[in-house]
Every structure is written in structure tokens, then in C-alpha cells.
Chains A and B, each alone.
Chain A
Amino acid sequence: MKKLLFTLLVLLLAFSPLTAAGQEEKAGPPTLNVLFYSPELAEQYNDMVAAYKAETGVTLDITVLQTDYRSVLTSRLNSGDVPDIFMSSAYADNSTYKDYVYDLTDEAFIQELEPSALQGVTVDGRVLGYPFLVQSHSFIYNKQVFEENGITTLPRTLDEFEAVAKKLQANGVQPFATGFKEFWVLPQTAWQAIANVPVENYGGYENFVSMLNTGKLKFKDIPEMSQVFDLLDLIGEYGGPKPNESDFNDQTSALATGKVAMIHQGNWAEDSIRKTNPEVELGFLVGPTGNNAETAGLMFDSNQTIRIAKDGENLEESLAWLEWLTTSEYGRNWIPGQVKQLSPIKGAAAPDSQIAESTTAMLGEGVPGYPWFYQMFPTGTEQQLGAILQGYCAGLTDRAETLDALDAAYTKIAKAAF
């Protein structure tokens, strides 16, 4: 009998937490449950939360993740523990989360946003997300290093980039920090090299992607892919002795200290660079599209998106928060002033960011600003295609094999997604 009693005791112990854990607080002003990424913005999030609480009494409980973000979000949406507000990419993610997002089209504050920022979150005329930031990526260069090495004309074509790299190398300066260790650096570098091609030859980005999705078009049939490989070859050749080990950290610290002259990155890198060396002066270079100087441009889009869960417990409060973010004085100034990036809100101030200044200046001069069309590829392609390109840079596959691998991976993902 004693053993039975003992077993019962153990089982009872197992279930006692049920009573202890099930205490939820329902009284008082609402708390919004928020799941975001970009932990580099943790301080800015905290500041905003404090400001919102002071003004309205509503608390935003923000959990910030990065690498495990997707698996946690999937798991929570799945188990019914839905966050009120979460984040995702634009474009392809519109369909990924379609069962969970609230349609924002009829909200008044949407009118306050730049139409260009809304294009990534609009599907069939419905706005399914709120553009969080407007970002740009291309080649960032250290102005002082260029000056010290007598480089006065900024390169725009592959040949010009090569000439600049040769000159730097001859002076003992490593031209590039490749960033090839990060799989995501490769797609952003590569696709920029053919950014003009979908519009010129394939009837626009949507058509281009749709042709890839249905298999009507393959990467190996696109002659301009050679521009991509040429660019990757160039960066790898002039990227120091261990080009495949260079990660984001290496890129930002090397550029900040002047060890290298150029990196391919986006405006989000500026904070790390300036933290390492507050005296640094940065600027943007266009991304070469082969040897055509006219089509070389920047990649400029709003990809990071805030989404409201339509089944969230605090839907009204969540919408109220977005409205405050768009229309209140603090809210309008938050992104340019605190996050220091470009804001999607109409008429917002310019941020204290050298790269953002450079971006605005260049776009003003007529340099093309291309959307991040590669985010329209089905979800999962960024990592898969990035890894394949990484393999090319490491010498695992030659150009023909790489193109075949890209096609095979893309086809598989597209098939499974539709």
C-alpha cells in the first residue's frame, strides 16, 4: 500500500503547480503582449514603452529575440498563446501569416504613411502590416580611407570598383570586408547586382517572381547572373586572406577602424560602426550592375513590418498604440530621433544618420532606389539561396553548378509553398 500512496503523492506533486501557476492578473490597465526582433534596438524599445505608459497608462510587454524569433513565434501562434503585436518581413510573409493578421486598410493612420513604404505590405489592395522602418543597403565606404588613398571619384561600375580595389590593395589597405560568413549578406549583395533586370527584361518584379515560381523562368536562363558572380568574385578576391570567415562584426569593426575601405551592408550597421569609432565618416556607394553606370543604385525599401494579431486579446489597444506611433509627437519622432533610421511616416524628420543622409541625397540626385524584390521570393529562399551562393564563394561549386543548385532549391521551395 505504501508504494501506491507514494506514487499518488508523486503524481499529486506533479499537479500542484497547476494551482500555483494559473494565477493571471486581469485587473488594472491593459498590458499588450508584444514579440519583436532587432535586439539592437532594445534601449529604444524601452524608451518608447516608458513614454507610452506615461501618456496612456497602457503597458507594452515587449519580448525581443533574434535568431530564434521565427520558431518562437510559430510555436506561440500554434499553441494559442498569440502575441497582440509581432514583427515579420514584408512581401512573402504577408501570405505566411495570413491566418493571423488584422487587416489595417481602413485604419485612419494608414493614410499618414508613405505609399512607397506600404507597397511591401499591400496584397490585393489590402494593407496587412505596418511598415516599421525604411532601410537601404549598398556599399558603405569609409570616407577617410578613400581620401587618404587618393580616391576622388566614387566607383559605379564593376570595372571602376576593380580599379579602386587595386589601388587600395597596392597601398596596403584591404579593400573589402566581405561578410560572406553571414548567409544573409550574400543575397543582399547578389540581388542588387541585377536589380534593374526584372523591370527591363521581365515585365516588372511581380511578373519576374511569378515566372520563377511557376518554373517558366530559371536562374540559369538569366544572362545577367554573370554580373552577380563577377561582383562576388571581385569582393572575394580583394577581401583579405580569409574572406569566408568575415562576419557582420568583422565588417563593422574593420570599417570603423579603417582596416578596410568598403563593406556591403545596410544603414542598420551604422550604429555598431560609430560605436566602435565615433570619429568615422561614412558614405554610400551604388551597387554596380555590371558595367552600366546608369542602372547602378541603392536597395531602398521597408521590409521590417509590424503586424497586429487579429485574434489578440487586446486588439483595440494595439490599434490605439499604432495610431499613437503614427500621429503623436513622440511617436513621429521615435524612429528618426531615437532609432536613427528613416521613418515611413509622411513628413517625418530626417534621422541623425550619415548613411540615411547619404541615401536621401543620392536618391534626390536621381540614383535609382530599388525595392527589396528578393523578399518576394517564397519564404525560406533567403537562407537557402544564400547558403548556395556562400558555397560558390568558398569554391564548392562553379558558376554552372551554382546556377543549377539555385534553380533546384528555388523550385523545391516554390513547389512546397503553393
Chain B
Amino acid sequence: MTPLKRKQLSRAMVFTGFTLPALVAILISVEIPFLMSVFSSFTKWNGLDRAQTFIGLENYKELILDDLDMWKAFGFTLRLTLGSVIVTNITALLLAVLLDSDLKAKNTLRAAYYVPNIISLIIIGYIWRFIFSAGFESFYQITGLEFFMFSWLGDVKLVYFSVLMVSVWHSLGFYLVVYIAGLQTVPRDLIEAAMIDGASAVGRFFRVTLPLIMPSITVSVFHSLSNGLKAFDVIFSLTNGGPGNSTTTIALDIYRTAFVINRFGYGTAKSVILFLIILILSLFQVRMFKQREVEV
């Protein structure tokens, strides 16, 4: 074996050794089960019967041609995701910058904004429901503002904003952690160099910090994008898709198809389509953002 070949083999072995554990874990916990489910998408199965009937592409045909509800849900999901990705990331980044500078109560504030992310969504749903109805009624009596008498969860025109607000409230802390970590990998000497060059705080941020924290932005946007498209828990506990089906997200639609109506094969077909959509959108997004990432 030539020295070059040996070096290449050695490199390949190192590569394999480093990546194999992650690959095995992910295959076992996610990808193999998912492929098993994909098989079900080609069957007519209620999730319980011992026998599964193979029906080829029938499920896919039905969901593309004959399932208006699913695409309505998808449309709502897109609107919600767009709103939450933009609002959450911008707010979290702004907050991270403020909380990374020399503020006195920095650590306490960081913890304060993070805490909502720890609470179980069932509780969050209940508490916010109460705030929107009983709480707002009390606030109205105290302040007299019309704002509090609107039906924030019952009026179809307003419920989007209520759901968006609760989603952002819950997830902000998570992205705050990610952005703070990213800000702390920016080498201090680069910032100092920029200060010496006379750059303003804003200039420093856009010229030095922002490019260097692109990786954090890529991760956060990617994560909030796919989480937004998969949104289930917040909706389930806050509105249960209502009123009517106006806040039903596609993940909720899939859950109901598989577990409430017992159309398991059909539901799995829907989730395969959802996955493909997320995949395409994410590939696009990651490629676009990764090109802007800078190495030291």
C-alpha cells in the first residue's frame, strides 16, 4: 500500500470511527422506525387489525386530490411557521445581544426568559386559556380597554395572533440559549480590533459578530422552521385546532387521521409528504445560510 493510500485509508477510518456512533443511534431511534412506518403508508390499515391490506399509491392519490382539509391545515401551518420563525429569531437574537453585554442582572434575566420553555405545554395551554378568558375579563374591569373583551381564542380572525404569541413566548428561551452560545464563540480579540478601528456598536455587530454567528442563525432558523412545520403541542393544548378547524396544523391533522379516525396507513402517508416538504424547504434554507457562514 502506498503511503498516500495508507493516509487515505487512515482518514477514512477516522471519519468512520467518529461518525459511526451517531449514525447507529439515529438509525435505531428514528430512521429505521420511520422507514417501517413508510411501509404502512402503502396499506389500508387502522393501526390495530392484525392484517394490513396493501393498496399501493391509493393513500397518496387521495391526499393529493381529495383532502382539502389537509391542505387547509398545511396553509395555516405555513402562515404560523412564517410568523413564528421571523418573530422568534429576531427577538431571541436581539435579546441575546443585550443579555451578552455587561448588564448587571444578566444571569437572572437569562433564566427568566428561559423558564417558559421548561414548562409542560399542557399547563401552558391551560394557563393561557385562563388568561385569555377569565384573566382578560378581570383586566377589562380594571382598565376598561376594549382590547380585553375580544375573544382571543374564539374569534377566527384573532386566534392566529394568540397562537403565535403563545408559541413565541414558549420557544424564545430555547433560541436565546443557542444565540448566547453562538455569541460567546466570537473571539474577543476580533471585537477589540474592530473597536480600535473605530467601529460603532451597530457596525461591530453587523460587520464582525453577525457573520461569525451565522452558524447559530442557521441552526436556529432550521430548527424553528422544522419545529414550526411540525407544530402540535401548543395547538393541541391551547385551541385543539379550533374554533372549528381553523387552527388545525398539519401535524394535528396527521395525528387525528392516524389515532382518532383510525386511518393509520393514510395518516402515515400524510406524514411522509410532510417530511418531504420539510426536507425540501430545509435543504434550501440550510444551503442558503451555510454559504454565509465564515470560518476563523
Direct contact, A vs B (beta carbon within 8 Å): yes
A: number of interface residues (CB 8 Å) = 46
A3 x B246 contact (CB < 8 A) = no
Interface residues of B in 240-281 (CB under 8 A from A): 240-246, 248, 255-256, 258-264, 266
A11-B24, A241-B151 are contacts. A394–B259 as well, Cβ < 8 Å?
no
> Who on chain A is nearest to B129 by CB?
A247
Q: Which residues of A contact B219 (CB under 8 A)?
A: none
Give which listed residue, B149, B236, B243, B255, contacts A396 with CB less than 8 A: B243
- In the complex, whether A388 has a CB less than 8 A from a CB of chain B is yes
Q: Which residues of A contact B259 (CB under 8 A)?
A: 70-71, 74
* Cβ distance B235 to chain A, nearest Cβ, rounded Å: 13
A11-B24, A77-B48, A96-B46 are contacts. A380–B262 as well, Cβ < 8 Å?
yes
- In the complex, whether A379 has a CB less than 8 A from a CB of chain B is yes
Give which listed residue, A3, A14, A250, A379, contacts B262 with CB less than 8 A: A379
A3-B14, A390-B242, A391-B245 are contacts. A244–B151 as well, Cβ < 8 Å?
yes
B155 x A244 contact (CB < 8 A) = yes
- In the complex, whether B189 has a CB less than 8 A from a CB of chain A is no
Residue of B25, B129, B261 ringed by the most chain A CB atoms within 10 A:
B261
- In the complex, whether A97 has a CB less than 8 A from a CB of chain B is yes
A245 x B244 contact (CB < 8 A) = no
- In the complex, whether A197 has a CB less than 8 A from a CB of chain B is no
A3 and B48 CA atoms in complex are apart in Å by 45
- In the complex, whether A181 has a CB less than 8 A from a CB of chain B is yes
A181-B153, A396-B246 are contacts. A242–B262 as well, Cβ < 8 Å?
no
> Who on chain A is nearest to B151 by CB?
A242
A99-B50, A243-B154, A244-B154 are contacts. A384–B261 as well, Cβ < 8 Å?
yes
- In the complex, whether B211 has a CB less than 8 A from a CB of chain A is no
Mask, A335-364, CB within 8 Å of B = 1, is: 000000000000000000000000000000
A100 and B156 CA atoms in complex are apart in Å by 42
> Who on chain A is nearest to B265 by CB?
A416
Interface residues of A in 160-205 (CB under 8 A from B): 180-183
> Who on chain A is nearest to B68 by CB?
A408
- In the complex, whether B47 has a CB less than 8 A from a CB of chain A is yes
B153 x A7 contact (CB < 8 A) = no
A384 and B152 CA atoms in complex are apart in Å by 23
> Who on chain B is nearest to A178 by CB?
B154
A393 x B243 contact (CB < 8 A) = yes
* Cβ distance B246 to chain A, nearest Cβ, rounded Å: 6
Residue of B20, B153, B154 ringed by the most chain A CB atoms within 10 A:
B154
* Cβ distance A312 to chain B, nearest Cβ, rounded Å: 15
* Cβ distance A77 to chain B, nearest Cβ, rounded Å: 6
- In the complex, whether B17 has a CB less than 8 A from a CB of chain A is yes
> Who on chain A is nearest to B266 by CB?
A416
A149 and B154 CA atoms in complex are apart in Å by 30
- In the complex, whether B197 has a CB less than 8 A from a CB of chain A is no
B47 x A6 contact (CB < 8 A) = no
Q: Which residues of A contact B134 (CB under 8 A)?
A: 250
A182 and B242 CA atoms in complex are apart in Å by 9
Mask, A374-410, CB within 8 Å of B = 1, is: 0000011001100110111111110000000000000
- In the complex, whether B284 has a CB less than 8 A from a CB of chain A is no
- In the complex, whether A19 has a CB less than 8 A from a CB of chain B is no
Q: Which residues of A contact B236 (CB under 8 A)?
A: 67
> Who on chain B is nearest to A247 by CB?
B129
Q: Which residues of A contact B47 (CB under 8 A)?
A: 74, 78
- In the complex, whether B13 has a CB less than 8 A from a CB of chain A is yes
Interface residues of A in 227-245 (CB under 8 A from B): 241-245
Q: Which residues of B contact A383 (CB under 8 A)?
A: 256, 260-261
* Cβ distance B8 to chain A, nearest Cβ, rounded Å: 15
Q: Which residues of A contact B153 (CB under 8 A)?
A: 181, 244-245
A74 and B172 CA atoms in complex are apart in Å by 34
B: number of interface residues (CB 8 Å) = 45
Give which listed residue, B17, B151, B154, contacts A7 with CB less than 8 A: B17
- In the complex, whether B133 has a CB less than 8 A from a CB of chain A is yes
> Who on chain B is nearest to A9 by CB?
B21
Mask, A67-86, CB within 8 Å of B = 1, is: 10011001001100000000
Interface residues of B in 14-55 (CB under 8 A from A): 14, 16-18, 20-21, 24-25, 44, 46-50
A244 and B133 CA atoms in complex are apart in Å by 10
- In the complex, whether A4 has a CB less than 8 A from a CB of chain B is yes
Q: Which residues of A contact B18 (CB under 8 A)?
A: 3
B17 x A380 contact (CB < 8 A) = no
Q: Which residues of B contact A10 (CB under 8 A)?
A: 21
A380 x B261 contact (CB < 8 A) = yes
A245 x B24 contact (CB < 8 A) = no
> Who on chain B is nearest to A5 by CB?
B17
Q: Which residues of A contact B152 (CB under 8 A)?
A: 245
- In the complex, whether B179 has a CB less than 8 A from a CB of chain A is no
> Who on chain B is nearest to A393 by CB?
B243
A67 and B14 CA atoms in complex are apart in Å by 47
Interface residues of B in 124-169 (CB under 8 A from A): 129, 132-134, 149, 151-156
Q: Which residues of B contact A14 (CB under 8 A)?
A: 24-25
A245 and B266 CA atoms in complex are apart in Å by 32
A384 and B132 CA atoms in complex are apart in Å by 25
Residue of B20, B242, B245 ringed by the most chain A CB atoms within 10 A:
B242
* Cβ distance A254 to chain B, nearest Cβ, rounded Å: 10
A245 x B50 contact (CB < 8 A) = no
Interface residues of A in 58-72 (CB under 8 A from B): 67, 70-71
* Cβ distance B21 to chain A, nearest Cβ, rounded Å: 4
Other than the known A100-B48, A397-B244, what 9 A-B pairs have Cβ atoms closer than 8 Å? A71-B258, A71-B259, A97-B48, A244-B154, A245-B133, A250-B133, A384-B261, A391-B242, A393-B243
Q: Which residues does B use to contact A, with CB under 8 Å?
A: 13-14, 16-18, 20-21, 24-25, 44, 46-50, 129, 132-134, 149, 151-156, 236, 240-246, 248, 255-256, 258-264, 266
**What are 12 A-B residue pairs whose CB atoms fall within 8 Å in the complex?**
A7-B20, A7-B21, A14-B24, A74-B47, A74-B48, A380-B263, A387-B245, A390-B244, A391-B243, A391-B246, A394-B154, A394-B156
Would you list the 7 A-B pairs with minimal beta carbon distance, nearest first?
A: A391-B244, A244-B154, A380-B261, A3-B17, A394-B243, A245-B154, A242-B151
